[in-house]
Amino acid sequence: MTIEQVVMKYSDMLYRICVVMLGNEADAQDAVQDTFCRYLERNREFADGEHEKAWLIKVAQNRCLDMRRFHLRHPKINIEEITASYEDPEYSEVLTELIQLPLPVKSAVYLYYIEGYKTAEVSEILGISVNAVKKRLQRGREMLRLKLKEEGLHRK
């Protein structure tokens, strides 16, 4: 595939991940671009499309971690900017909750629930054990459930 095809195929997916990881659109854009730079620099062969996709996610994930480390003292979270275009407030709420999860937890939650990877695949991408993935998912579920409670238990 040409770089043009790669960008068109994966940029939205990577951008979503980076926005959720970083909570900031401009930083997310940088992280995506860095990921593609890395892709070009490595010029490697992939077994198949899924392999390629997982590799890109892994690189983007690492880039987000680097950027978060750097921005730890000066976080540039801008959830309002991200959710401003949503007409449905429910979308804004759930996305805000996801972005506010701790980074390690939301990485696992995102890949498992949004991207649909299995725990073993999440483990491979994040470079952690399957048990660690399961713990993070459990923690994510608990935290999201707490949020549900805080919101008056689903506004019944």
Partner 1 sequence: MKRSGIELKCTTVTKLGKSNVKMEENMKIATLKQAVEHIELEDNKKQQMIRELKKGRRTHRAYGSTFRWAAVFIVGILVVGIISVPVRALVSSLVQERMEKVPKEEKQKEVELLDAQHVDGDSYTRPYTETEKARMEELHEMYQNGTFPAGEILRVDNEEEAKLHEFCFLTTTSVFYLPANRDMTDEEILQKIDFEYKRNYALQERYEEEHTAEIAAKEADEQEQITQALEAGGVTEEQAVEIAAEYLRKIYGIEGSGLELDHYYDADAAQVLVGRPAYSVNWSDIMNHRFYYFMIGLEDGRLLGTSYTSDEMKEQLEAVKPAMEEAPDKIEQIKEQAARFLAENMGMRESYDRVRSCYRTTSEEGVNTRVDVLFVKEDKEAHLLECSWDGTVIAYSVVTEKDYEEQSEIIREAMAKRYTKEYGREVTVENVWD
Provide the binding-site residues for partner 1, judged by CB under 8 A. Answer: 3-4, 7-8, 11-12, 15-16, 19-20, 23, 26, 29-30, 32-34, 36-37, 40, 50, 66-67, 69-70, 72-75, 77, 82, 84-86, 90-92, 94-95, 97-98, 100-102, 104, 110, 113-118, 121, 138, 141-145, 148-149, 153-154
- Three-state DSSP at 105 gives helix
34 phi-psi bin (left φ>0, alpha ψ -120 to 50, beta other): alpha
**Cβ 45 to partner 1, closest distance in Å?**
18
Give the span between the Cα atoms of 43 and 41, in whole angstroms. Answer: 6
Burial of 130 (0-12, 13-18, 19+ CB in 10 A): middle
Q: Closest approach of Cβ 89 to partner 1, in Å?
A: 11
Closer residue to partner 1, CB minimum distance, 20 or 108:
20
